[in-house]
């Protein structure tokens, strides 16, 4: 058990809708990263938050946005859903930020299906 939880576990939306995914990090972990994992692929980095500020972003459009709260919880919001947004969304928490040695601990993920 990593102590990282995500909700909901599964979600079905239709194209054009908006969705909010939630993550609760390990206590004491100031960094949360979000990844998208399409079927048959490795996870792709969406963005990272450190102490409630965005601290890095991958090649994802602005309709992917996030928030991090002081209580170690965070959200991933996706607007104007597209069929290609169907994927497993993983959040990962870690203690600090600019330390390449640091391990990221993942939650169980949210499976999003866009119809």
Partner 1 sequence: AQKITQTQPGMFVQEKEAVTLDCTYDTSDQSYGLFWYKQPSSGEMIFLIYQGSYDEQNATEGRYSLNFQKARKSANLVISASQLGDSAMYFCAMRERTGANNLFFGTGTRLTVIP
Among 55, 65, 73, 86, binds partner 1 (CB under 8 A): 55
Among 15, 97, 112, 113, binds partner 1 (CB under 8 A): 97
Does 45 bind partner 1 (CB under 8 A)? Our answer is: yes
| Segment contacting partner 1 by CB under 8 A, of 12-20, 48-56, 67-75, 76-84 | 48-56
> Which residue intervals of 1-115 are DSSP H helices?
none
Among 27, 28, 39, 42, binds partner 1 (CB under 8 A): 42
DSSP code, position 2: -
Structure tokens at 39: 């079927």
Q: How far apart are CA 22 and CA 77, in angstroms?
A: 9
Q: How far is the CB of 76 from partner 1 (least distance, A)?
A: 15
Among 15, 79, 80, 102, binds partner 1 (CB under 8 A): 102
Q: Which residues contact 98 (CB under 8 A, 6 or more apart)?
A: none
Does 66 bind partner 1 (CB under 8 A)? Our answer is: no
Rounded to the nearest 5°, which phi and psi values hold at 59?
Answer: -85, 65
Does 3 bind partner 1 (CB under 8 A)? Our answer is: no
Q: How far apart are CA 70 and CA 17, in angstroms?
A: 28
Does 101 bind partner 1 (CB under 8 A)? Our answer is: yes
């Amino acid at each position: 058990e990593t102590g990282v939880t995500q909700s909901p576990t599964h979600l079905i939306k239709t194209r054009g809708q908006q969705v909010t995914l939630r993550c609760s990090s390990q206590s004491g972990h100031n960094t949360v990263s979000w990844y998208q994992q399409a079927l048959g692929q490795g996870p792709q980095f969406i963005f990272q938050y450190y102490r409630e500020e965005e601290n890095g972003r991958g090649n994802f459009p602005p309709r992917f946005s996030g928030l991090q709260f002081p209580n170690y919880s965070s959200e991933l919001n996706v607007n104007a859903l597209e069929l290609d947004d169907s994927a497993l969304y993983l959040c990962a928490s870690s203690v600090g930020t600019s330390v390449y040695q640091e391990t990221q601990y993942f939650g169980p993920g949210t499976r999003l299906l866009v119809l």
